[in-house]
Amino acid sequence: MKRLILLMRRMLLALIVFSSMGAYAQGELTGKVTGDNNEVLPGVSITVKGTSKGTTTNAEGIFKIEAAAGTKLVFSFIGFETQEVTTDNATTLNVKMISGTKALEELVVVGYGQVKKSDLTASVSSVKGAAIKEFPVTSLDQALQGRVSGVQISQSSAAPGGGLSVRVRGPNSILSGSEPLYVVDGLPIYPDNNAVGTGGNRQPSNALAMLNPNDIESIEVLKDASGTAIYGSRGANGVVMITTKRGKEGGGRLTYDGSYSFQNMAKKIDMLRADDYMRYINKLEVSQGGAGRYSADQISAAGAGTNWVDAVTRPGSIQSHQLTFSGGNQTMKYAFSANVLDNQGIIINTDFKRYGFRFNLDNDFLGGKATLSNSWSYSRLISNNVPTDRGGPGGIMITALGLDPTVAIYNDNGGYNYPSYDGRFSINPVAEAKEGYDRDATNRLFGTTAVTFKIFDGLKFKTSIGADVVSAGRTSFFNSFTRLGRQNARELDKFNRNVTNLLNENLLFYHKELTPNHIIDATAGYTFQHEINQYASASTFGLPSDDVNSMNLQNGSKIQTPYSGRQEWNLQSVIGRLNYSAYDKYLLTVTVRRDGSSKFGPNNKYAMFPSAALGWKIANEKFFTDSRLSNIFDDMKLRASYGVTGNSNIPPYQSVSGLVPYNYVFGGQLSAGYGANNIANPDLKWESTRMLNIGLNTRLLKNRLDLSIDWYNTKTSDLLLYVSIAQSTGFGTVLLNSGTLTNKGMDFEANYKAIDGERLKWDIGGNISYVRNNLTDLGKSTPYFASSPSGHLGIDGSWVQAGNPIGVWRGYEYAGLFTSDSEAATFSAKAGYPKYTDVNGDGKYTSDDYKIIGNPNPKFTWGLNSSLKYQGFDLGIFFRGVQGNQVRNLQQSEIGDGVQKINQLSNILTDSYSTENPNGNRPVIDGRRDFISFRKSSFFIQDGSFVRLQNVSLGYNIPLTSNFIRSARVSVSGQNLFVITKYKGFDPEVNNSGQSNLNRGDDYDAYPRARTVTVGVNLGF
């Protein structure tokens, strides 16, 4: 990486020198561009007509360009009329641009096209690249957090490059994938972290980590059926349209973006010191009938002891560097970028590096009758990892929290000490982090090449090919200093994955103004997509050396059974859409897509996904313009849509019966054979989601206040569920379409220009949304517990039953503590033991007493941002929050149970019940107490609501007189500066089960979230 950064710096220096030589050799015309209200206009494109020579205005609206007398300059800017100005002999030129109708006709990217915002009938939210750039983020998912109503983003891991999970208007499935479809410059990508990941003792990395947020021009989130039905069987969970930056007319422009971030652990959990831990152990052993292990002298001499969490954490950092070169003329436009990201995590030996290149090129040929467009990107991702964010034993954070603080990290000989973890295993988390080797490397090439032909006026044909090629590998090695290395006499694991996804699209676009009052836009086409996903893994034990670089699989004495697989699927589709506008008042959008997928049964491989939407521009009606309403509202549009979308996000081959190897004993001999792995279901089909959406867009206060509100009601039917069948079939379950669920809610967005002066501008934006999810019917399936997120804890997964939201927890309702032995005797308990609600009144605690005890789904989510600009300064503040959700703190159910011989929360001694402390609010410290039932209770269900100061950013655009530096901006910002919450864990925004819908809101062994301070610089040449 150092070599790449050095190369980029040399390129930058060479271009600066080259630019300065050219600048000093020629004269220049300088000037300033302003708008109607004398406000400065940064980013105005200025070109010499008929040439590729050009420039743009800086943050102060200033420009410099070579121009002899009589030269025609073309000034263009979004929302303003393009102007041509002829120069004279003056050396300065000031231009005032006139706003035009385009200011109200911003183009919004939708599936397979663009629509004027004023003609939009779908529910679409947009985030522009300028807003993303204001606040540093490492992935595009983070750029959406809190900025778009109806979109909830949870982080499954705060590790560098860690995965995120996105829900648009709630979960629409139980077992199928519920992430939205992402379309990057026309290439559909489903972000299944597992499908492109490499496994391991942790959550998979972010499948979209290859995208550099600095390359993004805009993000549009399509939320209703009118917007998503064009993607048919993949549109049920919403669609995120990503448009990357392309070249524009004008001379070549070089931009450097760089930043460096300082990170530290945002919150720590207080654990017992060594002396208090000794007191705890003494209490525990006395409760078990023994004598205290530690004497008073030992306790007084112990002091604080070892802080294992401090030992495995460190200050982290992020550095980012990007060079972008863009420009073009009337026939060719280009944009090239190269970027490096290096994130050193706050846990030792964790990091994430991204090296990326993007190439966008548009060429007109055949006299402007055809355009060749290329959008390609390559990224290389490298990460070093440690075991975190999972449910098994030996995780770095859970062992660091729970390990014996009386034991030093190193022994007297400089080697590692290995304290016991409740007698189950011995471990040293520092050794796990430092000595373990877990490295991922992923290469990814993706993009599209398209040719668009103008057949005649209004009719275009576009054909394109796209590809997404992934090559990923993981090597993990556990030497003799790690837990698994000691257990298996060293262990080496290898995993490789290769994914090839190919796309072909052929589209016709027709635009016709039938009369001045009747306009149609039509789209029709055929698409075909094919994917092959191949993977293989192998492991070996009993290796002779601790040197990972010298070890290979064949070096082990105990080679494990290798595993490999291949999954392949096809999707072919026919699409059609018609947009009709009448009298600039009445809008109609009709969409249909017919998909055929190889994933489903032969009887249901094809399905139709239609939608229809109506729009009414009320503000253009005469009754509106003639009424007092026009004095209040500047614009008003009513929208309504209804449609059907699908969900095909399941692994291939679920509808067929496959063969797997089995061993049988015949005649006393072990024989190999094959048998079916499941029952075939030729009727297996898509999950279908029907959505009704009604929305209103309005502007008022002289277009300073922009409001949008949407109400929706969705119903998903034919849910894919496993249904129990007779064991005589040889199987316990079969996958069927069975069950329905609903999501109902509202989205609200507002943007207000509080001050819109020439020197001072203040914009305020906010959004709030709520969704109510309900599993209305399980069909032929019966209520069940989802798989446990942590088997060794002895707890259940979420409860799946009709009448409840997805993801709720079921268990004992905690009802305080027994205050006397006589009261507790009925339940075979003692004073100070936990008391639960005896639902059936039978005097004992069984599963019949379980009830719903928690819900991870929020009541509402919101975001609020403020952008203040004064001359060259800009200040941005961004808050976001989640209210009404709950988190199951499984981490504290282990380090706060008062039963195990591991370190406990610092308040365990002061808050636990005892004869000396009968008012204690935690159960008595007693090694004989049933802690499994305690873990299954509502005691550990905590309020996950929070208000987070997500970002504060202060920037300054430096006034320049340089002949070769076009613009310069410096900034300092802080991310995750504080969180207001009642949650007692590291952070309330946690989700250890990744992208699963069933086990959300569980907190166990989570990688801690960081607080970040960033300094940045932007230079334009």
Q: pLDDT of 727-741, one tens digit each?
A: 777 788 888 999 999
If residue 278 lies in a helix (H) or strand (E), which one and from where to where? helix 274-287
Contact yes or no for 794/814 (Cβ under 8 A): no
Taking the CA of residue 504 as centre, how many other CA atoms within 13 Å lie in the half-sphere pointing to its CB? 5
CA distances from 465 to 31, 187, 388, 451 (A): 44, 9, 40, 9
Residues in the chain: 1021
pLDDT at 592: 97
Contact yes or no for 145/205 (Cβ under 8 A): no
Strand partners, 558: 541
pLDDT at 83: 85
Distance between CA atoms of 543 and 538, rounded to whole angstroms? 14
End-to-end CA distance of the chain: give it in Å, rounded.
24
Strand runs labelled E in 266-307:
none
User: What torsion, rounded to 10 degrees, do the Cα atoms 545, 549, 552, 556 define?
Assistant: 10
Query: Which token pair is 183?
Result: 């379309």
Distance between CA atoms of 197 and 199, rounded to whole angstroms? 6
DSSP letters along 348-385, please?
TT-EEEEEEEEEEEEEEETTTTEEEEEEEEEEEEEEE-
pLDDT at 202: 64
Distance between CA atoms of 70 and 63, rounded to whole angstroms? 18
Question: For residue 70, is it left (φ>0), alpha (ψ between -120 and 50) or beta?
Answer: left
Distance between CA atoms of 885 and 943, rounded to whole angstroms? 6
Angle at CA 515, nearest 5°, toward 513 and 518? 70
Query: Which token pair is 824?
Result: 């507790």
Contact yes or no for 903/403 (Cβ under 8 A): yes
| Beta-carbon contacts of residue 735 (< 8 Å; ≥ 6 apart) | 654, 655, 678, 681, 684, 720, 721, 722, 723
CB-CB neighbours of 883 under 10 Å? 16
CA distances from 957 to 16, 868, 1016 (A): 19, 13, 12
pLDDT at 15: 40
Distance between CA atoms of 147 and 972, rounded to whole angstroms? 21
CB-CB neighbours of 456 under 10 Å? 7
Q: Classify residue 899 by its DSSP letter.
A: S
Residue corresponding to tokens 């905690």: 814
Among 349, 396, 351, 348, residue whose Cα is nearest residue 201: 396
pLDDT at 19: 38
| Beta-carbon contacts of residue 803 (< 8 Å; ≥ 6 apart) | 774, 775, 776
Q: Classify residue 67 by its DSSP letter.
A: -
Question: Using one digit for the tens of pLDDT, what is the confidence trace for 894-925?
Answer: 999 999 999 999 999 999 999 999 999 999 99
Distance between CA atoms of 379 and 377, rounded to whole angstroms? 7
Distance between CA atoms of 126 and 135, rounded to whole angstroms? 16
Distance between CA atoms of 448 and 375, rounded to whole angstroms? 5
- Show the low-confidence residues of the chain (pLDDT under 70): 1-27, 52, 78-79, 100-105, 136, 199-203, 390-393
Question: Using one digit for the tens of pLDDT, what is the confidence trace for 71-89?
Answer: 888 888 866 778 888 888 7
